[in-house]
Structure 1
Amino acid sequence: MNTMAATSAKAATAAVDRAAEVWAQLASVSDPELDESVTELGFVTCVEVDAGGGVQIGFRLPTYWCAANFAFLMADDMRIAVAGLPWVTKVTIGLGEHMYADEINRGVAAGRSFQDTFGAEASGELEDIRRTFMVKAFQRRQEALLTSLLERGLEPARLVRLSVAELAGLPDDSASRRLVERYLARRFVVRGCANGAAQTDEAAFVDSHGALFDADGLGAYLRALRRVGVNAEFNSALCRGLLAARYGEADAAAAAPQVEIKPVHFVPVGDWKSAVRLA
């Protein structure tokens, strides 16, 4: 192989490796409502890396009218995640086929906030809505973990007394370890822990207000959490089905619940449940 060909092959390998790094970073970004990775959901369509360290990311959503603040949040989170790679010089997010694509793409590219991007149309910044859904993610992960531990035979009285260190030492298989890791990754949301990590001597299980709960009330507590999970699972199936139907993936579309969908331009920050739907 001559020198030019060898250099070209090396550059191609480096580009593939860098693209893989970008995909890994994107996998850490979640849809705020569904608590699922944007890559697993199929929202990321392509990654391109140029020789100068520039990264272009294609991004799509299930419908043309997905809420603008959710779309902006995901796009900006992707930009931040990928910009953290040491070799990246520029990140361009290309949201396509969305009613606010131009505004979101320009705002994210310029590093502007959601409020600055949308001005009077926005109802504030995104931290409140981000926290609302992070708490719900915490609740879903906690319910999955507690249910798993109970099924393994751990008594409620022991569970409510576990410390973070004791919880981390429990798993004896990969599936259980994954549940623990995912739960502890959201544990900081309900108690402000330094660097996003709970102290090892803290109680492992607290409610969404950071309060301890007792063994006698564990059953009722879990039933309440399951309602949160059922709603999120429905929304996840709906989003996957709408995405599949929109882009011609018939098998996935068949799994979607059949409901009437109306556009949600913005999800209100103060009360996301009462989103104003514009017909």
Structure 2
Amino acid sequence: MTTRADSAMRALDVVIDPELDEPITDLDFVQSLTVSEDRDVVVHLRLPTSFCAPNFAYLMASDAKDVLTGLPWTRNVTVELDDHHDSPIINAGLAADAGYRGTFAHEAENDLEELRTTFQRKAHVAAMERCLTALLKRDPSRRMEDMGTVVLGDLPDDETTRALLSRRRSLGLEEAPGSIVMVDHTGACYAQLDVPLALRRARSTRISIDGNAHFCRGLLRTRYDDPDRTTVDA
């Protein structure tokens, strides 16, 4: 039988670290989650370092609060970021529902939605590269130049393809089986001559994202003695 605490943890699976393109639950950023008898939820988040970018930190904490508040059974939701140099500012802003600009005032130069969109585009590029590279490995007879003609229906029904479809959905791109896989964030296709270079650039983006995620996991393990342990209380 699923408890409310379990339900809340599963809800947090949709909260993504924008830079690493992974759920905060998979990254072990959820320090603890408590649900009271009165259906109040308290979540504590932690990050690999005390100096992680404040905008990324706020975005994840704010998304976590929004997701939990959206559950039909929650009453009051409190999300706090621990051990960050801007924890007092971020936690006060979240408690007051002040929004990013209201929390950081003149320091908030750019809107968070612009930041979110930038990293959604990078995540799409990385997911696209993973699918096409896997296809090349499975079928060595395919040429890199021909990757620009691959359609979604050519991809296997696996986790990698589902991840690509999710990234396309976030950008409003087509998901029909006949849709070209290799497109930019506007849905525009690449000329055959440009495909190899575009795919190599996409690979660089994917390697950067994967490398950052690996590095952050190492930092988290160094910072905390139990990085894989989340305290969940109902």
Q: TM-score, normalised by structure 2?
A: 0.86
Question: Could you say which residue in structure 1 is the equivalent of 2:232?
Answer: none
Q: Give distance in 2, aligned partners of 1:151 and 1:186.
A: 22
Question: Could you say which residue in structure 2 is the equivalent of 1:45?
Answer: 31
CA deviation map 1:137-193 (0-9, x unaligned): 1111111011112222274577534444x25xx42xxxx511111001011355x35
Look up the SS of the partner of 1:160 in the other structure. Answer: helix
Q: Give distance in 1, aligned partners of 2:214 and 2:138.
A: 28
Question: Could you say which residue in structure 2 is the equivalent of 1:237?
Answer: 214
1:177 and 2:158 are equivalent in the alignment: yes
1:219 and 2:191 are equivalent in the alignment: no
Cα distance, 1:245 vs. partner?
A: 1.0
Look up the SS of the partner of 1:78 in the other structure. Answer: helix
Select the residue among 139, 148, 168 that pairs with 1:160.
148
Select the residue among 168, 184, 190 that pairs with 1:187.
168
Look up the SS of the partner of 2:3 in the other structure. Answer: helix
8 Å contact from structure 1 (residues 113, 125) kept in 2: no
Look up the SS of the partner of 1:127 in the other structure. Answer: helix
**Superposed, which structure 2 residues align to 1:12-27 within 5 Å?**
17-27=3-13
Select the residue among 99, 102, 106 that pairs with 2:88.
102
1:92 and 2:78 are equivalent in the alignment: yes
Larger displacement relative to structure 2 (149-158 or 72-81): 149-158
8 Å contact from structure 2 (residues 128, 181) kept in 1: no
**Following TM superposition, where does structure 1 have runs of at least 4 consecutive aligned residues deviating by more than 4 angstroms?**
156-159
**Superposed, which structure 2 residues align to 1:60-209 within 5 Å?**
60-153=46-139, 155=142, 159-164=147-152, 166-167=153-154, 170-171=155-156, 177-190=158-171, 192-193=172-173, 198-199=175-176, 201-209=178-186
Q: Percent identity?
A: 36
CA deviation map 1:181-223 (0-9, x unaligned): 1001011355x35xxx645554333123421124454332221
| AA of the residue aligned to 1:92 | T
Look up the SS of the partner of 1:27 in the other structure. Answer: helix
8 Å contact from structure 2 (residues 100, 108) kept in 1: yes
Q: Give distance in 1, aligned partners of 2:159 and 2:192.
A: 24
Question: Could you say which residue in structure 2 is the equivalent of 1:58?
Answer: 44
Q: Give distance in 2, aligned partners of 1:145 and 1:80.
A: 31
8 Å contact from structure 2 (residues 147, 195) kept in 1: no
Gaps of 5+ in 2: 228-234
| AA of the residue aligned to 1:115 | R
Name which one, 1 or 2, has greater alpha-carbon Rg: 1
Look up the SS of the partner of 1:51 in the other structure. Answer: coil
Question: Measured at CA, do residues 198 and 137 of structure 1 come closer, stay the same or move farther in structure 2, by a change above 3 Å?
Answer: same
8 Å contact from structure 1 (residues 44, 58) kept in 2: yes
Cα distance, 1:236 vs. partner?
A: 1.4
Q: Give distance in 1, aligned partners of 2:132 and 2:45.
A: 35
8 Å contact from structure 1 (residues 91, 109) kept in 2: no
CA deviation map 1:62-104 (0-9, x unaligned): 1111111110000011111122211112211021111111211
| AA of the residue aligned to 2:203 | R
